[in-house]
Amino acid sequence: MNLLKIRRELRNGKSVFDLPLRVTFYARVSTDKEEQRNSLENQIQYYTELIQSKPGWTYVAGYIDEGISGTSTKRRDSFLRMIRDAKAGRFDFIITKEISRFSRSTLDSIQYTQELLEHDVGVLFQNDNINTLDPDSEFRLVVMAGVAQDEVRKLSERLKFGFRQAIKNGHVLGNDKLWGYDKRDCVLTVNEAEAQVVRRIFDLYANQEMGIRRISQTLYDEGFTSRRGNPFNVLTIRHILCNPKYKGWYCANKSQTVDYRSKRKVFLEESEWVMYPDPAIPAIVSEELWNRANRLYRQRSAQMMSHQSAARFHNRYPYSGKIICGEHGTSFHRQVRKKAGREVEAWQCRVYRNRGRAACSAPEVKTAELDQIMACLFGQCVRDKQAVVEAVIKLIQSVPGGHDYRQDAKRVEADLSGIQAKKDRLLEMSMEGALSTAEFKERNDGFNRQIQELERRMESLKAEEEKSRLFGKQLEKIKAVLEEALSFRNGIDSRLVAAILDHVVVRQASTRETLYLGIQLKFGSCYETIFDRKSASFRFSPSKNTTPRPEDRTT
């Protein structure tokens, strides 16, 4: 029916209930709770009976969205299907309970009702007594929709206030399945079985300086698995290392909602986070250990981002970061499997590990095969062994001293000074009567434990610095070792591989039977290599073209 004709009929005194219209309805509830489901069923029954009771109306099946918020229309499938059907001319009139059922966004409400009117379809917001077929409905719609939108804003503010009050009252909000803790009624208690894993992760990372992937493998080898019995996910380990709750601290304000309507969030800089020791959160690791682990994490992350030290932090093994997929330009990752009672080390493309064989056709490469190829290649190409020895020694001398132990010692000294200042302030508070004797003793003992831990750390740093200093005096011994290694009498030495090999590219033509490799040495020589796995034979040919490193490639 034409909109102009409908409005003419309404001006002549007819009611919308008397007009010959094809009528449908829209119903929605915002949660899937039992009482809400009952409300939805009641809405469906009510509108079905209402439409069918009007002689002039033709019933068209309704549109229903369940368990979806009205703040936005983006995920309301039935609503959007209703709009499409209206534009296709399948009905003339929609009945819905109220504006907030249709949408709590003023913009959405006006936009969609105007679109519907352009296709001669009206909407009756029954509880609000607004019929968009009436000429004066738009003004009332703007007012009522604005009220509905303001309700969303007030609800958002009330929720934030409720969160702040809950935190103030010692209730821990956030993840209910935080590893290492049991949570009940917003109270955290330590789950000792899981806490053992958390302590092990921090020990392996901060004290033994293992990488995260190796930690995952070590935990699995030691019998520690996720709640589903799988190896610990790398992302899970990262979250555990970076979560301040494990040292007994509250942490909030990591993100803020930019728009309460779209719920879009932005993540804030760490300097803007709200963090403080919280008695309601029992610590699983010491504050000193947590801080040390996170300093190391930030240091590694910064160096990874700058591409300056892929070799230092990933190259715990001679081929780490040196094997590149010719198809994707990504590095191969180490994998260890047990076969016939012994460990077999192999390397797989990162794309294959993350997405499977369908995403990458590159075969895995065994370390033993690479060792065999490298021993033969080095034996053929290294004619002037003394020149190579001198070049390697020069390379070692050009490398910076590695870890800056003096800088670490300064940080420890600063931490010691900070704790001593806290102890002085604690004594002042005790003398002023602001603390009881028992409370003073408890806090003072805690500071003393931290000081002892830092002093042990300082001794360890001094010992490591001394080792580093002595290393510089051993170049003659390194020369002798290199000369022995270059004889290849005992196979290939992994340290030699790390020193001389720049990278290996696994060509796209490679299969499970035959490897096609592009090998580049640090001294500029390049070789194309074909390795027949069945016969364990290979042949080399010099190549003029150098193969790009992963950071130089576009994938």
Would strands 21-29 and 93-96 be described as parallel, antiparallel, or unpaired?
parallel
Q: How confident is the model at residue 172 (pLDDT cuts 50, 70, 90)?
A: very low
Query: With contact defined as beta carbons under 8 Å apart, do 253 and 167 qualify?
Result: no
160 pLDDT more than 80:
no
Q: How confident is the model at residue 255 (pLDDT cuts 50, 70, 90)?
A: low
Query: With contact defined as beta carbons under 8 Å apart, do 303 and 313 qualify?
Result: yes
The whole-number pLDDT of residue 414 equals 86
Would strands 332-339 and 342-349 be described as parallel, antiparallel, or unpaired?
antiparallel
Phi-psi region of 318 (alpha: psi -120 to 50; beta: other; left: phi over 0): alpha
112 pLDDT more than 70:
yes
CA 153: distance to chain centroid? 29
Looking at domain 3-155, what is its CATH homologous superfamily? Resolvase, N-terminal catalytic domain (3.40.50.1390)
The whole-number pLDDT of residue 347 equals 92
31 pLDDT more than 60:
no
| pTM recorded for the entire structure | 0.34
Q: Which of 1-5, 198-202, 208-212, 263-267 has the lowest average pLDDT?
A: 263-267
Q: Which of 87-96, 119-128, 287-296, 496-505 has the lowest average pLDDT?
A: 496-505
- pLDDT mean over 280-308: 82
Place of tokens 């590990």: 353
555 pLDDT more than 70:
no
Higher-pLDDT residue of 519, 38: 519
496 pLDDT more than 80:
no
DSSP per-residue letters across 493-542? -HHHHHHHEEEEEE-TT--SSEEEEEEEETTS-EEEEEEETTTTEEEEEE
Higher-pLDDT residue of 372, 317: 372
Question: What does residue 260 show for φ and ψ, rounded to 5 degrees?
Answer: -65, -20
Q: Which of 48-62, 101-115, 200-214, 510-524 has the lowest average pLDDT?
A: 101-115
The whole-number pLDDT of residue 448 equals 87
- pLDDT mean over 144-155: 57
Q: How far apart are CA 103 and CA 262, in angstroms?
A: 13
Quick one: tokens of 230?
């799988």
For the chain, helix, strand, coil in percent to 5 are 50, 20, 30
- SS3 state of residue 46: helix
**Any idea which fold 181-306 has?**
Hect, E3 ligase catalytic domain fold (3.90.1750)
pLDDT digits (tens, 9 = 90+) for 178-212: 888 887 766 778 899 899 999 999 999 999 888 88
Q: How far apart are CA 395 and CA 406, in angstroms?
A: 24
Q: How far apart are CA 387 and CA 43, in angstroms?
A: 88
Higher-pLDDT residue of 261, 416: 416
The whole-number pLDDT of residue 393 equals 67
Query: With contact defined as beta carbons under 8 Å apart, do 382 and 486 qualify?
Result: yes
- SS3 state of residue 269: coil
For a pLDDT cut of 70, what percent of the chain falls above it?
69
Q: Which of 256, 285, 288 is nearest to 269 (CA)?
A: 256
pLDDT digits (tens, 9 = 90+) for 448-458: 888 888 888 88
The whole-number pLDDT of residue 552 equals 38
DSSP class of residue 395 equals H
The whole-number pLDDT of residue 506 equals 94
The whole-number pLDDT of residue 510 equals 92
DSSP per-residue letters across 342-362? EEEEEEEEHHHHHH-TTT--P
Bridge partners (DSSP) of residue 25 are 95
366 pLDDT more than 60:
yes
Higher-pLDDT residue of 336, 551: 336
318 pLDDT more than 90:
no
C-alpha separations of 287 from 95, 152, 205, 541, 552 in Å:
60, 41, 15, 57, 40
The whole-number pLDDT of residue 6 equals 84
Place of tokens 């001398």: 397
The whole-number pLDDT of residue 454 equals 87
The whole-number pLDDT of residue 380 equals 66
Q: Where are the alpha helices (DSSP H) in 399-436?
A: 405-431
Q: How far apart are CA 362 and CA 348, in angstroms?
A: 8
Half-sphere exposure of 395 (CA within 13 A, CB side): 17
Place of tokens 């534009």: 87
Q: Which of 176-180, 251-255, 361-365 has the highest mean pLDDT?
A: 361-365
Higher-pLDDT residue of 45, 550: 45
515 pLDDT more than 90:
yes
Q: How confident is the model at residue 365 (pLDDT cuts 50, 70, 90)?
A: very high
- pLDDT mean over 318-339: 86
Q: How confident is the model at residue 259 (pLDDT cuts 50, 70, 90)?
A: very low
Q: Compute the Cα dihedral for 391, 395, 398, 401 and give only its sign.
A: negative
Give the CA angle between residues 518, 487, 377 to the nearest 5°. 15
The whole-number pLDDT of residue 472 equals 58
Would strands 537-542 and 526-532 be described as parallel, antiparallel, or unpaired?
antiparallel
Quick one: tokens of 552?
């130089």
286 pLDDT more than 90:
yes
Quick one: tokens of 56?
């002039």
State the amino acid at position 41 in one-letter form. Answer: E
Quick one: tokens of 425?
């302030």
pLDDT, the chain, mean: 77
Q: How far apart are CA 28 and CA 108, in angstroms?
A: 16
Q: How far apart are CA 33 and CA 31, in angstroms?
A: 6
397 pLDDT more than 90:
no
DSSP per-residue letters across 54-109? -TTEEE---EEEES--SS-STT-HHHHHHHHHHHTTS-SEEEES-HHHH-S-HHHH
Question: What does residue 121 show for φ and ψ, rounded to 5 degrees?
Answer: -120, 125
